[in-house]
Structure formats: structure tokens, C-alpha cells
Structure 1
Amino acid sequence: MPEVDKPIILIILDGWGIAPPSRGNAITLARTPVFKKLINTYPTFSLQAGGESVGLPWGEVGNSEVGHLTLGAGKILYQDLPRINRSIADRSFFSNKVFVELCQNIKSTQSQLHLIGMVSPGGVHSYHEHLYALAELAQAQGLNKIFVHAILDGRDTPYNSALGFIEELETNLAKLGVGKVATLSGRYYAMDRDNHWDRTAKYYQALTTGHGETAAAAGAAIKNYYENKVYDEEITPTVVTQDGKPLTQIQNGDGIIFFNFRADRARQITQSFVLGNFKKFDRGVKLQLSVATMTEYERDLPVKVAFPPEVVHNPLARVISEANLKQLHIAETEKYAHVTYFFNGGNEESFAGEEHLLVPSPSVTSYDQKPAMAGREITHKLIAALREGSYNFYVVNFANADMVAHTGNLPATIKAVEFLDEILGQVVAAALEVNGTLLITADHGNAEGLINLQTGTIDKEHSSTPVPLIIVASELEQKVAVNSVVTDDLSQLKPAGILADVAPTILKLIGLPKPKEMTGLSLL
């Protein structure tokens, strides 16, 4: 039976990462007697919190959404870019049901396949390797009428880099023996997200009617734009022609694959093709098309989705709920969605026995004006709840280290860290008073690196550094981890796990079995 008389408290010190001492490390510059005592008294681990360990591309910095999602899910949820990359690497991409069925439909009617998206290695909205894989897949499915409608970047890549990317694309298509670049457009037109429908309309007309600037070849068109000081992002929708006529036009019966994986800037052009009751501009009669998108751009959009969102069936909060245990999720406004929606695996509704407590963030123009933020109010409410004894599990976010570090103000961030150390002492004392167990961790780093040591400039952004995990309980005192701390410098500690290991560790402490969906491992 679960030991329901022993509450478990998960404390998330948002933005508290591990890095060697430096002139920009607010955590090691701060006075933190409580934290230092904890890491030398209780089992302490270093956890990977960025890159592939949280489902992001290699080396990419962690973030609060992914961090809380991983902490709550107990598994790595691969985000869109690495998820698609992995499917290409293991070849499952080439048997993706959505892509294969669309290609077979087109083949049966001898129609055309149009691949629409940004041709860029930027990895923010799209990735050029995904386009190459789609062309390979279509060729393997026996299609020979394949057209690329290339959107040009210039924002997540150098402003004048599209020519090289288009030349690389055409080389790849030539090797396959199928596929041609049919149109070009800067993202300014093709990927508007701010309801500038005149831009979207201009792009739509180029694709469907052949109206727009014209050129005999894609590369020549880009060179001409560069000569006139018009660069990638702002290149006007341009139609590639052959013998004075458009190479192709999208028409009834054709298939479209929108290959951007990020949704926000792909919605408007996709809606223009697929919505029945469309009134943003006069598109003429709606074309009858087979349409697929790489990822889900919008719920209820009438398209097939090749990589739909992964569903977290058994997040930690559900497992605790189904064991008839009560739980309380606490945060201030800035991080409230993170301890509710994201921690619960993207579930909008709370589970049975789960309560939420929102503490308003202070009304200041910048959080360096109040480094304590709403931390003291959160602490008071948490301690009151612990003494009342109504809940078996608590998840609490303290936003200070992250939100104050985002201001770039090093002295204020040091104050935020020292404040956190102070209230951590109060929370630990209150938890031990009621025979509780605390797990003190973070979702990602930030406060440990406010100065770029190579350039000397202020660094306000997240990092890919590891984060701490300290397990505090009376019975664990002086039971330090095998590879635990020998000094106060946690950066000397080798990472022993990942964020996905926290939920299984909590379940082991409670005495509940780990669901099969959780691939993380208990650290105890």
C-alpha cells in the first residue's frame, strides 16, 4: 500500500542550472547556505535538461514547457524536429501511412504532387532534409510529377543564403531523377501569420493561377533579386516558366504536402487551400485536393497529419489520481500553465483529487524590480497546506531564477537566488516536520549563465546545462548518491539521469507501480 501519511513535494526551481563558477553565474555568486547544506547532506544528482534528453534537437537549450512536460510524463517526448529526423534515420518516415496513401491516390489518377514549405536548414519552421526525404518517398511510390514550391527563409538563416539552398535542392532532385522547383516566394508573403491576407493571396494566386513574377529558372530568379537588393525573406511570389508558360499550377485532383513542422506560420496558406467556407480573399472555386501536413497546424483542419501530437496517456498526475491520492499544484501566474497543463501531459482538465493554486505574479514592468516575485506568498500557502495535511503530493514552481535572469540583471538575479535559498530553508523545515520527502529540481538552466564568457555580452536566454535533483527526507540524511558531491561545485558531478527519471522516482517513493508508458528510471 502507498505510504499516504508521507507527503511528497516536488519543488521546481525554474531556471536553476548547473555550471562552473564564473562572473556570470548568479547561482555560485549568491550566498546559498541552505542549498549547499542540502547537497552535502542528502542524495544529490545532476540531470540532463536540454537537447535530446528532453526530446529537443542535439544541443538545443531546454525550456519551461518541455521541461515540465518531461517531468510530468516520465518519458522523453520527442519534439517535432527530432521526432521527424529520427523517423528518417530509422526509415519509418518512408512508410508513413499518411504520405504513402496520399501518393497512391495521386498515382491512381496520374495527378501532380506539390511539396510546399520553407527550403531552409534553419530548423525553426522547417528543415530541408525533410523535403529531400519527401521527394525520395514520392519517387519510391512511383510518382513522376513532383513540384516543389520553395519558400525562402532569410530570418533563421543568413539574409542572402537561399541561392545555395535552392542549388542544393535542385542537385538532390536531379539525383532522384524527379521533381522540379515550380515557384519561389519569400516567407514575408508565404508564411504570414498576422492576418495580412493580401500577402497570402498573392502567394496563393502564384501557386494556383501562375500569376506573379516569372523566371525561366529558380536560381536565375534569385540572382536577379539579389542584384536588385531584394533578399530571401522579401522575394515576391515568382513562377518558374517553360516556353513562357508556368511549369505547373495546382489544380483539381492534385495532392499537396505542407512540410513545415511549425504550425503558426503555415496556417494561413493551408487554410486558403482546405477551408470550405473561406472568405479572407477571393480564391475562386475551392480546388478538390488531397492535402497532408507534416504536423498538426490547427485542430479540426480538414487535412491528414503525418506526425500528430504525441498523447501522454499516463502522466504522473493521472497515476497519483487513480491511486485515490490527493495532489496540489502551486505556481504564480508566470508558470501556472507549466505546473498544470504541461506537467499533466497537455491535458486541459485536472484529474480527480487534483487541485490548483494560482498566486498572482507582481505587477511590475520588469521582475528585476522585485526578485522575490510571488515566492513568499507561494511559500506561505505551501507551508499552510503541508501543516493542514490534506494532500499526498505537491508540485510547486518557483519562477524567480528564470524570470529574473531573463532581465539580464546579474545583481537582481543573485538576489533572486538568495531569496530562493532563504525560502527553501523554510519549506524543507516544514516538510520534514510532517515526515515529508522533497525532490528539489529544475526544468532547465538560465541563472547560471548571465554572461557569455566568449563575448562578454549579457546572456538572458535559457541554457542546455544540467540541473540538480536533491532528495530530502529524514531517513535519507547522510545517504549521499554514489557519484555525489565532494565540494559545493555541482558542475563536478557527472549527470546521473534525465528529467524523465523524476516521475518514476516519485512513484517509487510513494510506493506506486510505474506505468508502462513511463520510460524514465527511478534514481533510487
Structure 2
Amino acid sequence: MTPKDKQVVLMILGGWGITPAWSGNILNYLNTPHFHNLWKTFFHINIEPFPGKYSFCARQGSEISFANIGTGRINPDEGDQINEAIKSGVFLRHTGIQNAFRSTQGALHIVSLVDTRGKHSRLEHLAGLLIVARGFNVPKIFFHLGLMSGDDPNDRAYYELQKIIRMIEPFPNVEIASLFGSNFVLENDNKIKSIKILFNLLTRGHGLYFNQNFSEIFDRYYQKGGIDNTFPPSALNIDSKIIGRVNAGDTIIIANLKIDSIRPFVKIFDSPNIVGTPFDKKKLSNLKIYTFFNHGMGSKSISIFNRKTIPNPLSKVLSDNKLTQLKIAHIDKKFQIGYYFNGGNFEKYDNENRKVFPISRLDQNWLLGADEIYWDFKKAFLKRSHNFYLVSFSNADLLGHFGDMDIASKAIKKFDNIIGEIANITLERGADLIITADHGNAEEIIEKQTGEHKRYHTTNPVPFIFVSSKNLRPRAESLSLEGDIPPLYNSYTHASIAPTILDLFGLIKPSQMSDEGLITNELPIKNGVN
């Protein structure tokens, strides 16, 4: 059988960690019998999702997991790299940082989300920029801040904003000039209406106005039931004068870390006509736009730090061998299945197709839209339209963040049926199925110490299950057929998955992939015995 005759399916379950059954784990056997039967029946092992020294902030996203899976290597987290540069002093001396401060002919604008989890941005990075500012005679520095908070109602962005306010107190030339909710950035980066609102706020001051009495503003806003992510776009107004708009000759530093929180700002300043309203280009002439890293958007923005794309990720190797790929996911994994899985390469490879589906409201669809993903996958799979399928479901992660044990348990039961259906059709067609997860969450909805809702991703191991009707031998000795949970930690990571997939296709893995595959065709076994 040639590689073109084969079908391999990789199912990535968002927020599906492995831990012994307990009252705070909705992924127990009663709720997920199909998953547990697959675990008992087929080769399985625990994968450590965050090996090494990934910070708490790095673990709050799935980007690094998808990157490690797709490239077959353990990649550094960019936010952690910047933290190390600040601690070591490299940040202060870095040519890219210094060029950004030297480039401005007017004001310096720092655009950043205020993310309480530290996924999209970190206060340490803003503090580092202010330290650098001491050595440059920049007349005015303006912060334009997008407010973002997670699931905890007590974890409000205003608490982080207070830290920024204290941070800028020693700097008389620094002011907070704009505030807006993160939804205008993250959930609408392709919607012209939201881009237009951001553009008009930052350049013209359109929106609501605020003074510098932040405590009064936010007390009133929260009392009315307002949430950070939908905070109305607002501009600083002192004595009836709008302060801190972007003008010709200014410099902008976009201090966000993730591509979905960088792209909207790059778009509006790279191509201001995108907003659809007349705008005098002279008002933005000689404007310099800097980002921490180059995320391959083909824009005029300048990257401060060099970022090397991974030359031969799994998707490229498959494409180079004329194998077709279909990647399907919930829309929140849009960039994970593309940009991050492909090692920082933004464009699709030949024969690579991607589809994303909206997340349904839980009160309207217990499956949160996973049924649409499943039916689209099934239709393509039964037609044998592709060789490799990446199917990503966010259900467990979304339910873990939701936090209601009773509702989440009912919803995960329904989703477990989809896991069983995908396993059945892959077995019937003689295809290979790998089930894994990006990180944990739903296995610990409750804090064991306090009994309260746990609102962050866990560091628990995640599953690796190899579902196949073929006689294939597990390469790793600790791969097992029994139903017991293996030791919680071992040496296997997400980096083993891409080499495993290449082995299944009979392809040679590139040298950049650090780990060996977990399955081999060389020594067939029957009933788990050589």
C-alpha cells in the first residue's frame, strides 16, 4: 500500500486531561464510556503537554501544544523568551527595541491587551518597554489597552490596569489614552465594522470619553453589570481635548503575543482604506509599526525579535509527498490548526484544506457545534477525499471553563458519542486514528483544596490512543493495552505525534523532529503478544 492509499486521522480534544476519577472530573467513565473503552482496548500512553519550563501564562493557551504536535519538536514560548530577555538585560540592549524607540518622529504608542491570564500579553513586557523608554527622549508615550478577563468574575482586568497605572506614575510623559474591550479585537478580527471602530478610536478619538478617574469609571461600569471584554471603545479627554491619537511620524509597538490579537492592529494601520471610509493618507505618513515577532502576515510591520519558522513541519512533509490534508476545527482553533500547527507558516501548503465552524451556544446545542465538525469530517472521510485529517474539538475545554458540573457532565456525555462514532468509521475503513489533547481542563473543573470552580488549564498529562485494526507494534515499552491509567508523568510529549504519523504513512521524518514515532510496522503483534 502506498502513502496515497492510506488515511490517518488525528483527533485533538481541547481541554482533555488524564487524572484518576474524582468528583471534580467530568471525564469519568460514566460520562465518557466511548473514550474509556477505546483507552482500554487500544494502545495508549500519557503525553506530557508542557515539558520543561513553560510558565503559567504559556500554559493558558493551546498554541504551543499545536505547534509542538505539528512540528515534532518542543518549541519555546515567545512570551517566556521575552521574559528571559528582560531578566537578563538583553531586552534593554536589543537593537530591535532601540530602533523602535529611535524611529519615532512624534509620539510612541503601545497597543496591548490587558489579559489577566497573561496569554495574549504580559505586564512584564510593558514594564520592560518603560524601562527602555528611560534612555530615549520620546516626548509622549500613549498606552492603548484592550480589556480582557477570563472566567473568574473576581479576576477583572481593572486589577491589572491598576498595576499599569502604578507602573507609569514615575513617567510624566506616559498616559493611558484608549480603552476598549477585547471582543473588538479577538472575536471580530475579520469583521470590517469592528476594525473600523478600532481605527476611528485610535486615530480620531471616536467613541466614549474618559478622564483619569479610573476607579470611578470602573466602579460604575461593573455595578451596571459591564464585563471587560465588551468595554465600550473610549478615548482620553482632558479639558474637552482628546489626547493621544495616532498621527503622522508616530511609532506603534503592538505588544501582544498571539496572532489573533496582533493581526487586527496590523491590518488597520497597514491598509487604512480597509475601514471603508475616506481617510487622508498624509495623516498616517511615516508611521512605523513594530511587533515583537514576525508572524508571517506579509505586512509592512517590523519585527523586533527574529523568529525562525520551522522549515519542515508535518503539513509540509505531507504536501511535498503529494498527500492531501483536511483540517477541521471550532473557530477558536482557527490559527492553531494553521499557523501554529504549521510551524509559524501562515500560508497553506499545496493540497492542504482548512475549515472552521462556529461555537454554538450551550443553551441551544449541547454539542457546541461539534456535530457540524463531525458531519463535515465524515462526509469527506467516507469519500476518501484526503489522506490526512486533523479534527479538533474544543468541547471539553469550553465546558471546563463554563464550570457548571451538572450541565457540563450532560454535555460531555453527548460529545463522547462523537468520539465513538469517529473511532467506528475509521476502524470500518481500515484507517488509523490517533486521539490526543492539547492540555488539561475538564478533568479538574473543581479546585480540590477549595471546592471552587477551577478556571485555568491544568498541567496534567493528556492521552495518546492509537486506534487501528492493523497489527502494529508500540515502539515505546510503556504503551499498554490494559485499562489502568499509566504513571502520570513519563518522557513522552506532543513532539512524538508528528513522527508517528509520518511512520504510519511510511515517510522519513525530517531531522528537525526531535522525537521518534510511537508506532512501527516492523514487528507485528497479535493480541498484544510478540
Question: TM-score per shorter chain, which class?
Answer: 0.5 to 0.7
Superimposed CA distance per residue, residues 404-459 of structure 1 (whole angstroms, 9 cap, x where no aligned partner)? 9589442342243255346525634653xxxx765443344466456666777888
How far apart are the structure 2 equivalents of 1:411 and 1:331? 24
**How big is each residue's C-alpha offset from its partner over 1:21-59, in whole Å with a ceiling of 9 and x where there is no partner?**
1344334223347414335xx3x3211336989998344
In the alignment, the residues of structure 1 paired with residue 390 and residue 143 of structure 2 have an alpha-carbon distance, to the nearest angstrom, of: 46
Aligned: 1:294 with 2:296: no
Judging changes above 3 Å, is the alpha-carbon distance between structure 1 residues 327 and 409 closer, same or farther for their aligned structure 2 residues?
A: same
2:4–2:323 contact (8 Å) kept in structure 1: no
Q: 1:220-235 residue pairs with structure 2 within 5 A? A: 221-222=213-214
- Partners of 2:335 and 2:196 lie apart in 1 by 33
Structure 1: distance between partners of 2:241 and 2:378: 70
Contact map agreement 2:112 2:254 (CA 8 A) in 1? no
Query: Which residue matches 1:126?
Result: 121
Are residues 1:410 and 2:409 paired? yes
State TM-score, norm by structure 1.
0.68
2:140 alignment partner AA: F
Cα contact 2:127–2:167 (8 A) shared by 1: yes
Question: 2:71 is matched by which residue type in structure 1?
Answer: A
Residue 489 of structure 2 aligns with which residue? 494
Structure 1 residues 48 and 399: alpha-carbon distance in aligned structure 2, compared to 1, 3 A threshold: same
2:156 is matched with 158
For 2:253, which of 250, 257, 266 is the aligned residue?
257
Counterpart residue type for residue 110 of structure 2: I
Q: Secondary structure at the match of 1:45?
A: strand
1-side partners of 2:448 and 2:39: how far apart? Answer: 25
In the superposition, the TM-score normalised over structure 2's length comes to 0.67
Give the secondary structure class of the aligned counterpart of 1:187: strand
Q: Which has the larger radius of gyration?
A: 1
Confirm whether residue 180 of structure 1 aligns to residue 170 of structure 2. Answer: no
> 8 Å contact 1:116–1:257 — kept in the other structure?
yes
Instruction: Supply the distance in 2 between the matched residues of 1:250 and 1:475 (Cα, whole angstroms).
Output: 64
Q: Within 2, Cα distance between the matches of 1:31 and 1:281?
A: 59
The match for 1:467 among 462, 465, 470 is 462
User: Deviation of residue 152 (structure 1)?
Assistant: 5.2
CA distance in 1, matches of 2:465, 2:480: 11
User: Which residue identity lines up with residue 149 of structure 1 in the other structure?
Assistant: F
| Partner residue, 1:314 | 312
Q: 1:168 corresponds to which letter in structure 2? A: R
Deviates more, 1:71-80 or 1:222-231: 222-231
Match of 2:100 in 1: 102
Q: CA offsets per residue over residues 308-352 of structure 1, 9 Å max, x none? A: 876343221321343x36345475887996897455555544435
Task: Find the counterpart in structure 2 of residue 60 from structure 1.
Answer: 60
Of residues 37, 41, 50, the one that matches 1:38 is: 41
- 2:510 maps to 515
Contact 1:115 1:149 in 2 (8 A): yes
Q: Say whether the 8 Å CA contact 1:317–1:344 is kept in structure 2.
A: yes
SS in 2 for 1:286: helix
Instruction: Answer whether contact 1:330 1:356 (CA < 8 A) is retained.
Output: yes
1:511–1:423 Cα change, 3 Å:
closer
Aligned with residue 142 of structure 2, among 131, 149, 172: 149
Equivalent runs, 1:7-406 vs 2, <5 Å? 7=6, 9-15=8-14, 16-23=16-23, 24-29=25-30, 30-32=32-34, 34-39=37-42, 42=43, 44-49=44-49, 57-62=57-62, 67-77=65-75, 81-89=79-87, 92-94=90-92, 96-106=94-104, 111-112=105-106, 114-118=108-112, 120=114, 122=116, 123=118, 125-139=120-134, 142-145=135-138, 147-151=140-144, 155-156=148-149, 158=156, 160-161=158-159, 164-170=162-168, 174=170, 180-187=173-180, 194-195=193-194, 201=200, 204=203, 221-222=213-214, 237-238=235-236, 253-261=249-257, 280=277, 285-294=282-291, 299=297, 301-306=299-304, 311-322=309-320, 324=321, 326-327=323-324, 329=326, 341=338, 343-345=341-343, 348-351=347-350, 365-368=364-367, 375=374, 378=377, 382=381, 385=384, 394-397=388-391, 399=393, 402=396
Structure 2 residues not aligned, in runs of 5+: 150-154, 520-530
Question: Are 1:401 and 1:417, in contact at CA under 8 Å, matched by a contact in 2?
Answer: no
Question: Equivalents in 2 of 1:22, 1:86: separation in Å?
Answer: 38
1:47 maps to amino acid = I
> How far 1:135 sits from its partner (Å)?
2.8
Q: Distance between the aligned counterparts of 2:323 and 2:197, measured in 1?
A: 53
1:149 Cα offset (Å): 1.4
Paired residues of 2:60 and 2:119 also in contact (CA < 8 A): no
Cα-to-partner distance string for 1:274-293 (whole Å, 9 max, x where unaligned): 65758747779515444223
Q: CA RMSD in A?
A: 5.5
Contact preservation (8 Å) 2:361, 2:368: no
- Following superposition, the deviation at residue 503 of structure 1 comes to 0.8
Q: 1:334 to 1:367 in 2, by over 3 A?
A: farther
What stretches of structure 1 of length at least 5 have no aligned partner? none
- Distance in 2 (alpha carbons) for counterparts of 1:181 and 1:103: 14
Query: What is the distance in 2 between the residues matched to 1:297 and 1:247?
Result: 31
Code of the residue aligned with 1:20 in structure 2: it is: P
Q: Percent identity?
A: 20
Distance 1:234 1:303 in 2: 27
Counterpart contact for 1:368–1:409, Cα < 8 Å? no
How far, CA to CA, are the matches of 1:112 and 1:56 in structure 2?
37
8 Å Cα contact 1:116/1:259 also seen in 2: yes
Contact 1:438 / 1:471 at 8 angstroms: preserved in 2? yes
Query: Counterpart of 1:514 in structure 2: which amino acid?
Result: K
Q: Residues 92 and 483 of structure 1: is their aligned pair in 2 closer, same or farther, counting only changes over 3 Å?
A: farther
Q: For the Cα contact (< 8 Å) 2:440–2:457, is it kept in 1?
A: yes
Distance 1:179 1:92, change over 3 A: farther
Letter in 2 for 1:35: L
| Aligned 8 A contact 2:26 2:408 in 1 | no
Instruction: Sort the Cα spacing of 1:149 and 1:468 in 2 relative to 1 into closer, same or farther, 3 A.
Output: same
Distance in 1 of aligned mates of 2:356 and 2:38: 26
